[in-house]
């Protein structure tokens, strides 16, 4: 079902280059990035065989449905904490109706912190400064539950100072990464000289279970979601010659759609976390995305005449249907969502982390374009609520 992952963790490369555009004084910038994944790499064309075997499923109709879903997701590879060793130790995870929340948390809690640690170390290495200079940490996860939380465990593992300011954001789902950016931006801009480590880390362990016709979304999750972590360092007034800002967080907004809180529904039970996903989710996003984007663009007086195709787009790839509807509704040119589609193909939907994989690909794409490519762009994510998160970005 899986093969070992040896080379994907870390920063994309030693990424240091002078900014082509000067940062706006007082605005938060992204100074470095890192990512990490668990060791099990799962090719999509081998997932069905492994999942059906591991869950002891004998239903041919379920297998055929999962095969169809795996093809429509466009995912090619994913990474997962789940392994043969874990299932051998906890066979009850594959047994319908068994209370397993304790076992799941025994696996998930240390796993997400370990991935967050690896992503943070890669990010700090790219940044090139001492951990003593990190003043705040924002920790995002929908995959662990404990007190004290992962923020403290991560700070301890990284050897961060004991007076570091900590913020923990739990169970936001797919928009959590952009929420983390918004919170880190506010911290950085209101604390001159601060450097904020933002880390996201997710695993599907809490939701792993045998398929059941009464829970059709379980198969969507099995076909689409993956595990991993990401980290960025954010601050204002980058130090010339030492720090290399590549993206400015110009303005951020959040909005929920009244009357849609049941469209994405997640409940923690004794068997783990159960999700229900309304079929009208892509339609709800489609119906409201244009107004949301216009509101965000209006925050800059430099974009009065800007058209959507004048911008770059870093969109959380919740699934191909959402990307297709957004592309068609906003009349985006072919290729505008390539970074989102590439992240979905390479990693699946990794919940709050995925926006950072998109932004890493976007950094590469803009770097290789003449004159630095488009200056302005949008980062967008959607999740329970239905909640829209958006940031007006400026490429440096």
Q: Is 10 exposed, middle or buried (0-12, 13-18, 19+ CB in 10 A)?
A: middle
* Residue 374 Cα distances to 73, 245, 361, angstroms: 29, 16, 14
C-alpha count within 13 angstroms, C-beta hemisphere, residue 60: 0
* Residue 125 Cα distances to 42, 108, 139, angstroms: 28, 26, 19
* Residue 340 Cα distances to 59, 245, 346, angstroms: 34, 22, 10
The answer to whether 260 and 386 have CB atoms below 8 angstroms apart is: yes
The residues annotated with a catalytic role in the active site are 174
* Cα–Cα distance, 177 to 103 (Å, whole number): 27
SS3 content of the chain, % helix, strand, coil (to 5): 40, 25, 35
Return the SS3 of 365.
Answer: helix
């Amino acid at each position: 079902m899986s093969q070992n992952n040896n080379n994907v963790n870390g920063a994309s490369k030693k990424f240091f280059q002078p900014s082509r555009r000067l940062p706006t004084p007082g605005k938060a910038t992204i100074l470095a990035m890192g990512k990490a994944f668990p060791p099990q790499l799962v090719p999509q064309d081998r997932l069905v065989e492994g999942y059906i075997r591991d869950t002891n499923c004998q239903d041919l109709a379920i297998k055929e449905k999962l095969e169809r879903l795996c093809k429509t997701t466009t995912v090619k590879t994913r990474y997962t904490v789940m392994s043969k060793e874990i299932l051998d130790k906890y066979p009850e995870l594959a047994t319908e109706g068994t209370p397993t929340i304790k076992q799941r948390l025994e696996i998930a809690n240390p796993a997400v912190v370990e991935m967050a640690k690896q992503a943070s170390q890669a990010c700090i290495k790219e940044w090139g400064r001492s951990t003593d200079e990190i003043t705040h940490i924002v920790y995002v996860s929908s995959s662990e539950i404990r007190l004290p939380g992962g923020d403290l465990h991560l700070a301890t593992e990284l050897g961060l100072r004991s007076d570091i300011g900590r913020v923990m954001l739990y169970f936001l789902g797919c928009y959590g990464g952009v929420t983390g950016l918004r919170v880190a931006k506010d911290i950085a801009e209101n604390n001159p000289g601060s450097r904020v480590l933002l880390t996201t880390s997710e695993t599907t362990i809490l939701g792993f279970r045998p398929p059941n016709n009464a829970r059709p979304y379980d198969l969507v999750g099995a076909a689409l979601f993956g595990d991993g972590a990401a980290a960025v360092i954010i601050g204002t007034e980058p130090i010339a010659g030492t720090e290399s800002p590549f993206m400015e967080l110009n303005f951020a907004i959040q909005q929920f759609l009244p009357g849609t809180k049941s469209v994405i529904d997640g409940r923690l039970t004794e068997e783990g976390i159960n999700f229900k996903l309304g079929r009208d989710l892509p339609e709800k996003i489609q119906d409201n995305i244009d107004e949301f984007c216009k509101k965000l663009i209006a925050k800059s007086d430099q974009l009065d005449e800007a058209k959507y195709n004048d911008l770059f787009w870093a969109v959380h790839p919740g699934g191909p249907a959402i990307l297709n509807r957004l592309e068609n509704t906003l009349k985006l040119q072919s290729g505008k969502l390539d970074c989102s589609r590439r992240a979905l193909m390479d990693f699946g939907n990794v919940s709050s982390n995925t926006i950072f994989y998109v932004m890493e690909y976007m950094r590469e794409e803009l770097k290789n374009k003449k004159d630095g490519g488009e200056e302005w762009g949008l980062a967008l994510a959607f999740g329970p609520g239905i909640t829209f998160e958006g940031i007006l970005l400026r490429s440096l």
